[in-house]
Chain A
Amino acid sequence: MAFLEVKDYRKSFGENEVLKGISFSLEKGEVLAIIGSSGGGKTTLLRCLNFLEIPETGELWLGGTKLFDASEKKQNTDAQIREKRLHFGLVFQQFNLFPQYTVFKNITLAQTLLAKADFRQKKADFAKVLRAAPKEERKKLREEQKKVLSEIRAGQKRAIEEKALSLLERVGLSEKRNAYPYELSGGQQQRVAIARALALSPDILCFDEPTSALDPELTGEVLKVIKGLKSADSTMIVVTHEMEFARSVADHVIFMADGVIEEEGTPEEVFGAPSSEKTKAFLQKTENTDF
């Protein structure tokens, strides 16, 4: 079984069926490019993978276990969906950085909140142990616990900070750690957004047209960063209009049209020798606009 298996995802908005049964699989470390014209359901598929939308039918398997099953409504409460989301990261077309926080805080915020919840849990566990202990030992135990807890907290803080700094280096923005989003160019903002998504170490990182909101001269730097992320243990799904990029980075390409996967294969197969008429027409069109 592949690392990621999506089976028969369907999603409608009112009368409009946007995903008409999408199934695909992806191996660990692979990059999947999803191409196709607007309104074909690409973005909706990504949003379903990140559980921003919940598909009406379908299953999702990750690393050999079933992560999501649309028919098991009871297991899809808000809290459970939130847990599931952590397996996926999403980089938005419009970046969606938090404007009131610095670059550094944008990257660390979610992690810090998760660490805090973790810490509270530990503290509660410790308190339970303390209550169970015999009275005469409690004082000593309390002191020890205090020390351990403060070490845990310091460790968490250090780990989060180190990670953020290394991610900033990876996207080439170390010197911008204290800048606010408005002080950055679109390309820089998008690179911060990529670092923010990576900070939670998602199993699969999704990109929703990451360069579509950028000026042409800024797309290059973002694509370069995404290319640089490609490695044996980072699995990525990229919805893109940059055909050259899809061709050079992707291991696997899916062409979507009208809510179905019209064609899929290696970049050579899809770009080199498309079999579907729709794919041919689409590729023809994008080539023509490239001049």
Chain B
Amino acid sequence: MTIGQVTLELLTGFGTTCLLFALTLLLSLPIGLLLSLASMSRFRPLKVVVRVFIWIIRGTPLMLQIIIIFYGPGLLHMSISWPSRAFAAVVAFVINYSCYFAVIYRGGFESVPRGQYEAGQVLGMKKHQIFFHVVIFQVFRHILPPMSNEVITLVKDTSLAQVISVGEIIFVAQNIMNNIYVIYPLFYAGVFYLVFCGILTLLFGWLEKKTKFYRV
């Protein structure tokens, strides 16, 4: 196998990695927001249920969660099965990351000073207007640094999907390794992650710079 062939194979795996990453992010960002609002709810039962759920998800390994999500329905003798392995992996990732995002969002909401809500109130703004026109941007700005951490971690966490044999880049690299008895494809895969994370880092840096005017 030439290095060109290895590169091509790794690229296909990397495509899957990117897909896992993008879908997870796309779904867990809004779901995390809903979870965070629920975790701050004045309706106590909802708040308790959500906080216990977050505790369970954050308190157990993601790898275990992927396995449970994938094999769970079968073990429970349910007639449904996952349309694909990647699908099950995305579901597990979304659940896991929504919980982490929920906590980050909550920190963001709690960092917005009371006075910002009150300023909106005395100006006759409605609750949702205060939320969308005053608060949400400030939350966004506050959570950028912890979010960049979490998003970059997600890039690498997608490799856990290999436990249910999803053909992401590490899984592909290991396959090549087992076929041609060399270890370098694994290190080579690392370069893909590094470049991807580098781009994300630049992107977050740019976002922070763009919103620099925001200071209290």
Contact = CB atoms under 8 A, between A and B. Distances in A.
Contacts of A110: 120, 123-125
B129 A113 contact: yes
A99 B119 contact: no
Contacts of A94: 113, 115
B5 to A, nearest CB: 51
B24 interface: no
Nearest to B211: A100
A187 interface: no
Contact of A96 (B115, B125, B129, B137): B115
Interface residue tally of chain A, by bracket?
20 to 34
Interface residues of B, number: 24
B126 interface: yes
B121 A92 contact: no
Contact of A92 (B118, B125, B141): B118
A281 interface: no
B137 to A, nearest CB: 5
B213 A114 contact: no
B interface: dominant SS? helix
B138 interface: yes
B122 A85 contact: yes
Contacts of A90: 122
Interface string A104-123: 00000110011000000000
A86 B124 contact: yes
Contact of A98 (B119, B126, B127): B119
A82 B137 CA distance: 23
Give the residue among A50, A78, A90, A96 with the most B Cβ atoms within 10 A.
Answer: A96
Contacts of A197: 122-123
Given A99-B216, A182-B213, A89 B122 contact: yes
Interface string A56-94: 000000000000000000000010001101101110101
Contact of A99 (B118, B126, B214): B214
B126 A82 contact: yes
B42 interface: no
Contacts of B216: 99, 182
A191 interface: no
Contacts of A98: 116, 119, 134
Contacts of A97: 119
Interface in B138-193: 138, 141
Interface string B189-202: 00000000000000
A159 interface: no
20 contacts: A82-B125, A85-B122, A86-B124, A94-B115, A96-B113, A97-B119, A98-B116, A99-B214, A99-B215, A100-B138, A100-B141, A100-B214, A109-B123, A110-B123, A110-B124, A110-B125, A180-B213, A180-B214, A182-B213, A200-B123
Interface of B: 113, 115-116, 118-127, 129, 133-134, 137-138, 141, 211, 213-216
Given A78-B127, A85-B121, 20 more contacts: A50-B122, A52-B118, A52-B122, A82-B121, A82-B124, A82-B126, A92-B115, A92-B118, A98-B119, A100-B137, A100-B141, A100-B211, A100-B213, A110-B120, A110-B123, A110-B124, A113-B125, A114-B124, A180-B214, A182-B213
